[in-house]
Chain A
Amino acid sequence: DAGVIQSPRHEVTEMGQEVTLRCKPISGHDYLFWYRQTMMRGLELLIYFNNNVPIDDSGMPEDRFSAKMPNASFSTLKIQPSEPRDSAVYFCASRQETTNTGELFFGEGSRLTVL
């Protein structure tokens, strides 16, 4: 299996621009998670989906952030408008529906820099 695939790996944009990050989970996985990693805050859960339905978006920092999962093999995280404080590495992760012993598989991340 190809693993969790994220794109782009690196994004540099200017403040105010729209940013879209993409994720393809592992085939057959029922759960998809979006995390943000910064030096100051560590790894934060932004939102997660089960069977394409958003379950908990309480970690989404502001209305500028939105996430969708139109089908089982694709999800997007959008920031509009972007701000310098959004600069971080954004990770997508997926897992199969199981008990809480299941492994979470991470993508390689999208490094976002907002100037």
Chain B
Amino acid sequence: GNSVTQMEGPVTLSEEAFLTINCTYTATGYPSLFWYVQYPGEGLQLLLKATKADDKGSNKGFEATYRKETTSFHLEKGSVQVSDSAVYFCALSDTSGTYKYIFGTGTRLKVLA
């Protein structure tokens, strides 16, 4: 079945450091891929998405490229801020027509001033 694997956290960085959070997936067909972010005490919200191979999603300085050949969708940001501290979830849309989303386990990011 479809699945998402993302790197274990927590990830602790200093402000202005470069961020990479790895995400790989297993899926039949052509899923859409997503990154969601969860700030403390809040629900998940969409950060960015990509709907087909080689698409790059971007938002708020974050980027991720849909790589079909490596089945990956790694999240990157060139210079993190304290306000980026949150939990990041990689997700894919199920390709069997169920409209379900499959989420990774989440990676906690802590950015220190």
- Mark A15-45 against chain B: 1 for CB-CB distance below 8 A, else 0: 0000000000000000101000000001101
Do B99 and A50 have beta carbons less than 8 Å apart? yes
B residues within 8 A CB of A71? none
Q: Chain A residues with Cβ under 8 A from B98's Cβ? A: 55-56
Contact of B42 among A45, A56, A101, A108 (CB under 8 A): A108
Instruction: Flag if B103 contacts A106 (CB, 8 Å).
Output: no
A45 contact set on B, CB distance < 8 A: 100-101
On chain B, the number of residues with a Cβ less than 8 Å from chain A's Cβ atoms is: 23
Q: Which residues of B contact A31 (CB under 8 A)?
A: 99
- Using a Cβ–Cβ cut-off of 8 Å, how many residues does chain A contribute to the interface with B? 23
Q: Across the interface, do B49 and A103 meet the contact criterion of CB distance under 8 Å?
A: yes
A91: which of B44, B46, B49, B51 is its contact (CB, 8 Å)?
B44
A106 surroundings in chain B (CB, below 8 A): 43-45
> Is there a chain B Cβ closer than 8 Å to A4's Cβ?
yes
Knowing A43-B89, A109-B43, say if A100 contacts B32 (CB, 8 Å). yes
Q: Which residues of A contact B104 (CB under 8 A)?
A: 42
Contacts of A42 in B (CB 8 A): 103-106
- With A and B bound together, what is the CA distance between A33 and B99 in angstroms? 10
Known: A42-B105, A43-B106, A56-B100. A107 touches B43 (CB 8 A): yes
- Do A100 and B46 touch across chains, with their CB atoms under 8 A apart? no
Contact call B93/A100, Cβ cutoff below 8 A: yes
* Chain A residues within 8 Å of B, Cβ to Cβ: 4, 31, 33, 42-43, 45, 48, 50, 55-56, 91, 93, 95, 97, 99-101, 103-104, 106-109
